[in-house]
Amino acid sequence: RLKESELCTAPLRAGVGACEGDYGGPLACLTADCWVLEGVITPSRVCARTDQPALFIRVSLYVDWIYKVMKMG
């Protein structure tokens, strides 16, 4: 069961998708004419398997915090 702060995706074919070492990498979606950062990948023990989803943290819930930290820095 997913938490509100999580997104999951599954690769369309084996060998394509998130893998060990990709932690912190983006899940970006093309919306109209612009790419939008939707998620950041979490650590996982599986690597681009069609039977296991990749788990991402939903960025939209943290936008205010991100802007605050960027202003401070």
Q: What is the mean pLDDT of residues 7-21?
A: 75
Instruction: Identify whether the C-beta of residue 71 lies closer than 8 Å to the C-beta of residue 14.
Output: no
Confidence label for 14 from pLDDT (cuts 50, 70 and 90): low
Answer yes or no: is pLDDT of 1 > 90: no
- The verdict on residue 36 lying in a domain is yes
- The verdict on residue 1 lying in a domain is no
One DSSP character per residue, 3-62 reads: -TTEEEE--SSTT-S--TT-TT-EEEEEETTEEEEEEEEPP-S--S-TTS-EEEEEGGGG
Q: For 18-67, how does the pLDDT look when each residue is reduced to its tens digit (9 = 90+)?
A: 777 788 899 999 998 999 999 999 887 667 677 777 889 999 999 999 99
Structural domains of the chain, count: 1
Q: Which residues lie closer than 8 Å to 47 by C-beta, 6 or more apart? A: 18, 19, 20
Q: Given this model, what pLDDT does residue 70 score?
A: 94
- Domain containing 48 equals 6-72
Enter the pTM of the model.
0.75
Domain holding 66: CATH number? 2.40.10.10
